[in-house]
Amino acid sequence: MEAYRAFEAHEDGCLKLVITPGRIDRCCTHSAPMEGITGHTFRRVHAECFGALDRYYTPFLPPPRVGSPFGGKNLKEIDPVNNQGLNVVPQLLTKNADEFVWAARELAELGYGEVNLNLGCPSGTVVSKGKGSGFLRDPDALEAFLRDVCERSALPVSVKTRLGLEDDSEYGRILELYCTLPLAELIVHPRVQKDRYQGKPRWEPYGKTLERAPFPVAYNGDIFGTGDMDALAEAHPRTRHVMLGRGLLANPALARMLAGGLAASADELRQFHDKLFHAYVDEIGGNAVFRMKEWWFYAKCAFADPMAVHRTVRKVRKINEYEVAVEKVFNTQSLAAVARFSG
């Protein structure tokens, strides 16, 4: 028997979808920051084709030097013209408090209402510099940094975090310090850095965060379909915000599905692909093929035989070769029942 679904307004302004009896299926949906993929072009095309999410986070940006403006591709990423009609939160990757505060001032002048600190990136290069999840190695230094920037920032500060570097037990101290700060939001990816994206996210630390945090909390990690969201909401019914990353790339209609809507049809997926590809061609010319192949790394999982899709697109280099390969994929491959990313 199907559950009855109805939208209700939540106090934070987001719609939540209540499934009788007692399950919350949809809260505010955030698009995760994914380097090289979820930039302003992707955000715009995704919103045009599938409707805007409640919030989009930019891929991490290095702050400019104090006294200097954002420039180059980073300026394009945050240019209000490129983000019209979308609720976008710029994310910064840094351990320099002065540069963070300066960047927040620059972002405020551009009209942004929040700035996010990346404490979740598991990349070895980033971690070795003490940034991203590498900053979690030194909770005392992190606490001093966050107290400083929360006090001086021109914008409210939110954080995207992992549980630690090597072991979940590290999160006790980290959560303790977060809870003493006036954060705008804490986004929890309940894995440690060494996990990268392997194994299952641990929901218990996320649940403890919901219980203890005096600020909004968002969940991030392995939400690929409505079944995953149902399980999370059943285990943690206080969930109000969820961030979608790999799941949204594999299934661009995921947020719509979590709100009770339909999965993407083959025609919709093809239309989305074509708009995205042509937008990249207009922006970066022949390099659009390589940008699209980054998207296909995830999008292949929308199909029943992802490895066949991968073999079809992986070796193409030129635009005409790419167009032939894509035509073959959409003409010969059927969609998967659930677009579950598996690497």
pLDDT digits (tens, 9 = 90+) for 27-80: 799 999 999 999 999 999 999 999 999 999 999 999 999 999 999 999 999 999
| Residue 119 pLDDT grade (very low, low, confident, very high; cuts 50, 70, 90) | very high
What Å distances lie between residue 81 and 121, 285, 304, CA to CA?
Answer: 28, 21, 38
172 in the same domain as 271: no
Tell me what pLDDT residue 219 has: 98
12-26, 77-91, 175-189, 218-232: which has the minimum mean pLDDT?
Answer: 12-26
Q: What mean pLDDT comes out for the span 175-204?
A: 96
| Residue 338 pLDDT grade (very low, low, confident, very high; cuts 50, 70, 90) | confident
283 in the same domain as 242: no
3-state secondary structure of 244: strand
Tell me what pLDDT residue 24 has: 45
Paired tokens of 256: 């719509």
Tell me what pLDDT residue 179 has: 98
Q: What mean pLDDT comes out for the span 180-203?
A: 96
Q: CA 46: distance to chain centroid?
A: 13
- Secondary structure element (H or E) that encloses residue 234, with its range: helix 226-235
284 in the same domain as 236: no
Q: What is the spatial distance between Cα 177 and Cα 158, in angstroms, rounded to a whole number?
A: 14
162 in the same domain as 120: yes
Q: What is the spatial distance between Cα 139 and Cα 146, in angstroms, rounded to a whole number?
A: 10
Give Cβ neighbours of residue 144 (< 8 Å, ≥ 6 apart). Answer: none
Tell me what pLDDT residue 343 has: 67
Domain stop point among 225, 258, 291? 258
| Residue 122 pLDDT grade (very low, low, confident, very high; cuts 50, 70, 90) | very high
What is the percent of the chain where pLDDT is above 70? 92
Q: Which domain holds residue 281?
A: 266-332
For residue 198, the domain's CATH number is 3.20.20.70
271 in the same domain as 301: yes
Does residue 338 lie in a domain region? no
Per the structure, how many domains does the chain have? 2
Q: What is the spatial distance between Cα 227 and Cα 223, in angstroms, rounded to a whole number?
A: 9
Residues forming a β-bridge with 159: 117, 186
The residue ranking higher by pLDDT, 199 or 182, is 182
Q: What mean pLDDT comes out for the span 176-201?
A: 96
Tell me what pLDDT residue 339 has: 87
Q: What mean pLDDT comes out for the span 171-178?
A: 98
Strand-strand pairing, 5-9 and 15-19: antiparallel
Whether cis (ω within 30° of 0) applies to the bond prior to 252 is no
| Residue 270 pLDDT grade (very low, low, confident, very high; cuts 50, 70, 90) | very high
Does residue 47 lie in a domain region? yes
215 in the same domain as 320: no
Q: What mean pLDDT comes out for the span 141-159?
A: 98
Q: What is the spatial distance between Cα 309 and Cα 266, in angstroms, rounded to a whole number?
A: 14
Q: What mean pLDDT comes out for the span 159-176?
A: 97
Domain stop point among 224, 258, 292? 258
Mean per-residue pLDDT over the chain, rounded: 92
Residue 6 has pLDDT above 70, yes or no: no
Does residue 271 lie in a domain region? yes
3-state secondary structure of 49: helix
279 in the same domain as 251: no
Q: What is the spatial distance between Cα 219 and Cα 11, in angstroms, rounded to a whole number?
A: 18
Tell me what pLDDT residue 213 has: 98
169 in the same domain as 129: yes
Does residue 342 lie in a domain region? no
Tell me what pLDDT residue 252 has: 97
Paired tokens of 220: 């991030």
243 in the same domain as 272: no
68 in the same domain as 34: yes
**pLDDT tens string 209-260:** 999 999 999 999 999 999 999 999 999 999 999 999 999 999 999 999 999 9
Tell me what pLDDT residue 3 has: 32
Tell me what pLDDT residue 15 has: 35
For the sheet containing 5-9, what is the strand order? Answer: 5-9, 15-19, 23-26
Q: What mean pLDDT comes out for the span 118-136?
A: 96
Residues forming a β-bridge with 30: 55, 243
| Residue 16 pLDDT grade (very low, low, confident, very high; cuts 50, 70, 90) | very low
310 in the same domain as 223: no
Paired tokens of 199: 């194994």
Does residue 219 lie in a domain region? yes
What is the percent of the chain where pLDDT is above 90? 90
**pLDDT tens string 276-311:** 999 999 999 999 999 999 999 999 999 999 999 999
Does residue 341 lie in a domain region? no
- Secondary structure element (H or E) that encloses residue 158, with its range: strand 157-161
The single-letter code of the amino acid at 147 is: R
